[in-house]
Amino acid sequence: ISSSLREAANEDTCVTISDEEPGDDLDLFCVPNHYAKDLEKVFIPHGLILDRTEKLARDVMGDMGGHHIVALRVLKAGYTFCADLLDYVKTRFFKSYCNDQSTGAIKVLGGDNLSTLAGKNILIVEDIIDFGKTMQIFLSLVQQHNPKMVEVANLLVKRTPRSIGYQPDFVGFEIPDKFVIGYALDYNEYFRDLNHVCVISETGKAKYKSEAESLG
């Protein structure tokens, strides 16, 4: 693993992956054979993800510890990171939420009334922030129900000029503006079963292009 990927993080920062980070060759890791030609590089190995997630959990507990924590997950791609994080954080998983990307509105999955968040200590868990708009909408919705505390943990934050400037409370990795898949992050519902965070190849994009994209 290259030195830039190993950059140490202190309590106030995340692990920053530089724009020049080349990633690592696929043959250095266990990658499903059916994806062998669909990936360029392994960007963040699974073991490093887990180690960083454990550290995030310790940071969360250091900041929110001593309180009962209610965890909220945004978007289904965050389920793997959320599950791994909560394995390290002793907490109760409350309910999943997702963003309706066709309207930009928040759609609640499940029957619980959000008023049950009142007075609770809330940890919002998300896989990746591209621009930050979805998270700001979700935070606004949660805050309307008067929780005691709200903090956000993200595995990945993209470094992009399209960002609105939002920064979560806990971040695993700050990454370049690349399209990454794996660790439940998908491309048209493929690659969710890939353990590592990888960069998709042009072959992979063409192979798994959706019908709508093909017609367009």
The three-class DSSP label of residue 145 is coil
CA distance 206 to 203: 5
Per-residue confidence in pLDDT tens, the chain, 216 aa: 443 443 433 345 789 999 999 999 999 999 999 898 999 999 999 999 999 999 999 898 888 876 788 888 876 556 889 889 988 886 444 444 443 333 334 444 444 567 788 888 888 988 888 888 888 888 888 898 999 999 999 999 999 888 878 889 999 999 999 889 999 898 988 898 899 999 999 999 999 886 445 544
What pTM was computed for the model?
A: 0.80
171, containing H or E segment: strand 170-175
Q: In what order do the strands lie in the sheet with 180-181?
A: 39-44, 197-200, 180-181
Q: What is the residue type of 204?
A: G
Report CA dihedral (204, 134, 76, 94) to the nearest 10 degrees: 160
- Residue 28 lies in domain: 3-215
CATH code assigned at 123:
3.40.50.2020
Domain count, the chain: 1
DSSP state, residue 193 = T
Continuous H helices in 65-186: 79-88, 133-143
Of 130, 169, 186, 193, the catalytic one is 130
Query: Would residue 130 show up in a list of annotated catalytic residues for this protein?
Result: yes
